[in-house]
């Protein structure tokens, strides 16, 4: 019969018994090498890779327990199955305590050997798969670090020529009278808008690599979401008033406690508030609501705007990284018009943040009328 895979070494001092066990293993489809005693077995293990060692416990030169201990020391990945008579079953128990996978009682039954070897083979495969996953994980972490490094270096390298460009632009602006020619004024406006757009994109990229680290190391704790909403409201008030957009806070009267990473949740609310600011025209209105819904045992954080809205068929797409609803022409004008700056990752970050605290997000939107983004978090008791 063809070999089933694991490399087996059979250690048995009695030649006849050894031969009969070897034939049994072959009948079961396993290929095996043999050794006459523990010492011989250890030498063979050093010379070739084995997955399973089946060893007698009662042997001259070096007994089975000693052989087991030495194998586990030299090659801990090898699974050891011990064989012993009923009379010396205590030895088998000691062997299990010292790391043996299982024991087989002598005289051995082919059915029992088949079951034990099959279990052992499965365990070896499971360990192998685990190791593969662990290696893959290490590789992914390395690649992630490389990506972070790449972003850091790229943003740093691009920042220098941009700073030069910005410097010379400002020098020219000081030396000419923009208002003397409407065309010149327009061109200068486009130039400064574009330079700012590139600076904002670099900031977003830099921010993105910092975010990756923060999300890997998130720490959840219990806190009142009222405090975070108040903080975001305070931060953004000036920006909204600069654009002549009403910005209200509608807090919850009682504490709305959740279990999340406060810095990350704040980041999520800031992203949504920034979008509301970006995609709402002057004279519009944005409201931050906080509601405790006892029936659902949830805290709802809602960011409602009267902005441009999102077409229904695009709503699912906006959570994909780098997706932006507006086409390039519209978006580039919107970037200056709606205070610019995104690269289409804000909402994917929000979704990633919510996955760390069993949160969800829902959107209701009507083009031309406005959008409401709702974060739903479980109430922490």
Binding region for ligand ADP (CB under 6 A) out of 31-39, 190-198, 217-225, 301-309 = 301-309
Structure-token match 């819904």, residue found:
293
- Three-state secondary structure of the chain: CCCCCCCEEEECCCHHHHHHHHHHHHHCCCCEEEECCHHHHHHHHHHCCCCEEEEECCCCCCCHHHHHHHHHHHCCCCEEEEEEEHHHHHHHHHHHHCCCCEEEEECCCHHHHHHHHHHHHHHHHHHHHHHHHHHHHHHHHHHHHHHHHHHHHHHHHHHHHHHHHHHHHHHHHHHCCHHHCHHHHHHHHHHHHHHHHHHHHHHHHHHHHHHHHHHHCCCCEEEEHHHHHHHHHHHHHHHHHHCCCEEEEECCCCCCEEEECHHHHHHHHHHHHHHHHHCCCCCCEEEEEEEEECCCCEEEEEEEECCCCCCHHHCCHHHCCCCCCCCHHHHHHHHHHCCCCCCCCHHHHHHHHHHCCCCEEEEEEECCCEEEEEEEEECCC
CB of 320 to ligand ADP, least distance (A): 8
**Residues of span 152-171 touching ligand ADP by CB under 6 A:** none
The pair of three-digit structure tokens given for residue 220, joined into one six-digit string: 């959840």
108 versus 201: smaller Cβ distance to ligand ADP: 201
Among 209, 326, 356, 380, binds ligand ADP (CB under 6 A): 326
Q: How far is the CB of 294 from ligand ADP (least distance, A)?
A: 28
Under the binding rule (CB under 6 A), the answer on residue 347 touching ligand ADP is yes
Name the segment binding ligand ADP (CB under 6 A); options: 17-25, 92-100, 193-201, 339-347.
Answer: 339-347
In this structure, the chain runs to a length of 381
Contact stretch for ligand ADP (CB under 6 A) within 43-51, 217-225, 245-253, 269-277? 269-277
CB of residue 147 to ligand ADP, shortest distance in Å: 19
Stretch that binds ligand ADP, among 47-55, 98-106, 115-123, 336-344 (CB under 6 A): 336-344
CA distances to 89, 105, 203, 305, 354 from 347, rounded to whole Å, are 63, 62, 16, 16, 11
- Which long-range contacts (C-beta less than 8 Å, at least 24 apart) are formed by 40-46? 40/11, 41/9, 41/11, 41/67, 41/71, 42/67, 42/70, 42/71, 42/74, 44/9, 45/9, 45/71, 45/74, 45/75, 45/78, 46/74
Single residue of 305, 357, 359, 374 touching ligand ADP by CB under 6 A: 305
Per CB under 6 A, does 245 bind ligand ADP? no
The reply on whether position 288 binds ligand ADP by CB under 6 A is no
345 counts as binding ligand ADP under rule CB under 6 A:
yes
CB of 219 to ligand ADP, least distance (A): 25
For position 284 contacting ligand ADP by CB under 6 A, the verdict is: no
Q: Which is nearer to ligand ADP, 28 or 339 (CB)?
A: 339
Task: Give the range of 122-130, 189-197, 217-225, 268-276 binding ligand ADP by CB under 6 A.
Answer: 268-276
Residue 262 or 370: the one with the smaller Cβ distance to ligand ADP is 370
344 binds ligand ADP (CB under 6 A): yes
Cβ-based nearer residue to ligand ADP, 193 or 378:
193
Residue 166 or 351 with smaller CB distance to ligand ADP:
351
275 binds ligand ADP (CB under 6 A): yes
Is residue 232 part of the contact set for ligand ADP (CB under 6 A)? no
Is residue 279 involved in binding ligand ADP (CB under 6 A)?
Answer: yes
CB of 71 to ligand ADP, least distance (A): 56
Check binding of 310 to ligand ADP (CB under 6 A). yes
Of 64 and 346, nearer to ligand ADP (C-beta) is: 346
Least distance from C-beta 338 to ligand ADP, angstroms?
A: 9
Q: Which residues bind ligand ADP (CB under 6 A)?
A: 271, 275-276, 279, 305, 307-310, 318, 323-326, 342-348, 371
């Amino acid at each position: 019969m063809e070999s089933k895979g694991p490399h087996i070494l059979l250690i048995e001092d009695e030649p006849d018994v050894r031969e009969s066990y070897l034939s049994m293993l072959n009948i079961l489809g396993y290929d095996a090498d043999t050794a006459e005693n523990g010492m011989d077995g250890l030498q063979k293990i050093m010379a070739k890779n084995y997955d399973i060692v089946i060893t007698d416990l009662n042997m001259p030169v070096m007994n089975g327990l000693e052989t087991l201990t030495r194998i586990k020391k030299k090659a801990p990945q090898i699974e050891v199955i011990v064989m012993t008579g009923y009379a010396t079953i205590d030895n088998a128990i000691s062997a299990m305590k010292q790391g043996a996978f299982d024991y087989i009682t002598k005289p051995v039954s082919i059915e029992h050997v088949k079951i034990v070897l099959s279990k052992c083979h499965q365990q070896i495969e499971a360990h192998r798969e685990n190791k593969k996953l662990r290696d893959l994980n290490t590789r992914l972490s390395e690649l992630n670090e490389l990506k972070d490094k790449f972003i850091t270096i790229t943003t740093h390298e691009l920042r220098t020529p941009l700073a030069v460009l910005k410097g010379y632009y400002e020098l020219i602006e000081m030396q000419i009278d923009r208002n003397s020619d409407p065309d010149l004024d327009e061109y200068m406006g486009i130039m400064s808008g574009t330079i700012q757009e590139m600076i904002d994109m670099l900031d977003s990229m830099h921010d993105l690599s910092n975010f990756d680290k923060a999300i890997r190391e998130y720490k959840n704790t219990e806190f009142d979401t009222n405090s975070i909403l108040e903080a975001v409201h305070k931060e953004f008030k000036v920006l909204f008033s600069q654009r002549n957009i009403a910005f209200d806070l509608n807090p919850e009267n009682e504490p709305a406690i959740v279990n999340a990473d406060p810095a990350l949740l704040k980041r999520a609310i800031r992203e949504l508030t920034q979008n509301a600011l970006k995609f709402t025209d002057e004279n519009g209105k944005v409201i931050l609501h906080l509601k405790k819904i006892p029936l659902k045992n949830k805290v709802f954080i809602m960011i409602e705007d009267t902005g441009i809205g999102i077409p229904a068929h695009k709503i699912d797409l906006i959570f994909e990284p780098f997706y932006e609803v507006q086409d390039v022409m519209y978006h580039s004008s919107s970037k200056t018009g709606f205070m610019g700056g995104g690269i289409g990752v804000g909402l994917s970050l929000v979704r990633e943040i919510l996955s760390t605290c069993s949160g969800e997000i829902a959107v209701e939107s009507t083009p031309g009328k406005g959008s409401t983004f709702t974060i739903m978090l479980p109430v922490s008791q």
